[in-house]
Amino acid sequence: MSQCGSRTLSFLSLVIPVYNEQATLPFLCQQLEEWLPTLGTIRCEIVLVDDGSSDNSYAFLAEWAQSSPQIKVLSFSRNFGHQAAVSAGLAYAKGEAVVIMDADLQDPLSAIPEMIRRYEEGYDVVYGQRICRQGETVFKKVTAWAFYRLMQSCVYKDLPKDTGDFRLVSRRVVDIVNAMPEAHRFLRGMFAWVGFRHIAVPYVRDERRFGQTKYPFSKMLRFAWQAITSFSALPIRLVCLWGAFVACLGFLICLYAFYCWCIGDTVQGWTSLMGLIAMLGGSSILAIGIVGEYVGNIFEEVKLRPKYLVEKTLNISRKEDPKAPTSKES
């Protein structure tokens, strides 16, 4: 176990997923080139993961990689999604500590020195906690607020509020997460599950300056649903409770029907019967759907397919390449 204040960081990796970010990459490149010298004696590599971009992002990354060997690039065979891109970056990163950040610099580089200080104090996961989100719509702020509260109350009580993937993680935690074989990766939940010493670094989230968000509402909903069903059996438990409630209600209605039959009043009740049939039909389909969702997740997991396919790498030697990562290896 690391002791407080007992270590000095000498090698840092930055992992940056990139999906159709041609508008933002020149700004990222310029900001990083200004910022890197401020790290002083800390060696730094930047692992950029091109998640199957269809614009000129890869061409920019390829040119950037020529300027310095510390710029490492992975390019996927297609779009595998943000969490897969970060997972690949974590598998390829070699630093003693790894910072995960977005390409759009909404999470500022200026928060990283404080994260490093916390790491050197002995913390294994130093996550950025947003105290304010600038330039985002009220809708995005409200849904993000609701997402973290829902996740905390339903999925995992230790999941820190108002944190994205922007965080510094120690080598031992990166190795553990790399060894976790699940195909559905909700990384911030996985980091919370791993445990060790966690601490928050508060920061103001800037607005996106270039390009569009890659998380429209439909994708955010899918992400939230995936996070819930990959981390929690709560929806299935709720379905069981609902089933029990409907069964009790059905029993009471049987008693009522029997009573009506006894007093010879059996013609009435068509409306309530139709209502009941509709309600039972709807809730059964919903229950089957939720169970189906879990079966689908199990199906994806047992296939043991790789979580992503790396088509090309730049500035990554054979020795550094954890070879075609399979779901078992990465």
Residues at the site binding Mg ion, with contacts judged by CB under 5 A: 102, 104, 106
Site map for ligand UDP, 176-215, x if CB under 6 A?
-------------------------------------xxx
Q: Which letter does DSSP use for residue 160 in this model?
A: P
Amino acid making up residue 59: A
Q: Is the distance from CB of 57 to CB of 20 less than 8 angstroms?
A: yes
Is 313 buried (19+), middle (13-18) or exposed (0-12) by CB count in 10 A? Answer: middle
> C-beta of 283: minimal distance to ligand UDP in Å?
34
Is residue 79 close enough to count as binding ligand UDP by CB under 6 A? yes
Specify which residues 170 forms β-bridges with. 97
CA distance 324 to 311: 9
Q: Pick between residue 9 and residue 98 the one whose CB is nearest to ligand UDP.
A: 98
CA distance 141 to 169: 26
Q: Could you tell which of ligand UDP, Mg ion, none binds residue 19, using a CB distance below 5 to 8 A set by kind? A: ligand UDP
Q: Is 307 in the site for ligand UDP (CB under 6 A)?
A: no
Nearer to Mg ion, 75 or 106 (CB): 106
From ligand UDP, Mg ion, none, which one binds at residue 307 (CB under 5 to 8 Å depending on kind)? none
Q: How far is the CB of 318 from Mg ion (least distance, A)?
A: 33
Only one of the segments 15-23, 39-47, 268-276, 299-307 lies at the binding site for ligand UDP (rule: CB under 6 A); that segment is: 15-23
Considering only residues 29, 89, 90, 102, which one is a binding residue for ligand UDP as defined by CB under 6 A? 102
Phi and psi, residue 97, nearest 5°: -135, 150
Q: How far is CA 252 from the centre of its chain?
A: 45
The CA distance from 167 to 161, in Å, is 13
By beta-carbon proximity to ligand UDP, the closer residue of 189 and 235 is 189
Is residue 162 a contact point for ligand UDP (CB under 6 A)? Answer: no
Q: How many CA atoms lie within 13 A of 171 on its CB side?
A: 13
By beta-carbon proximity to ligand UDP, the closer residue of 49 and 155 is 49
Pick 51 or 96: Cβ nearer ligand UDP? 51
- Name the strand (E) or helix (H) holding 297: helix 270-302
Could you give the 3-state DSSP secondary structure of residue 30? Answer: helix
Nearer residue to ligand UDP within complex by CB, 8 or 54: 54
Residue 89 interface partner, choices Mg ion, ligand UDP, none, CB cut-off 5-8 Å depending on type: none
151: which DSSP letter? I
At closest approach, how far in Å is the CB of 167 from ligand UDP?
Answer: 14
Q: Are 91 and 187 in contact (CB under 8 A)?
A: no
DSSP track, 208-234: P-SS--S--HHHHHHHHHHHHHHH--H
Q: Which residues would be at the binding site for ligand UDP (CB under 6 A)? A: 17-19, 21, 51, 79, 81-82, 85, 102-104, 106, 213-215
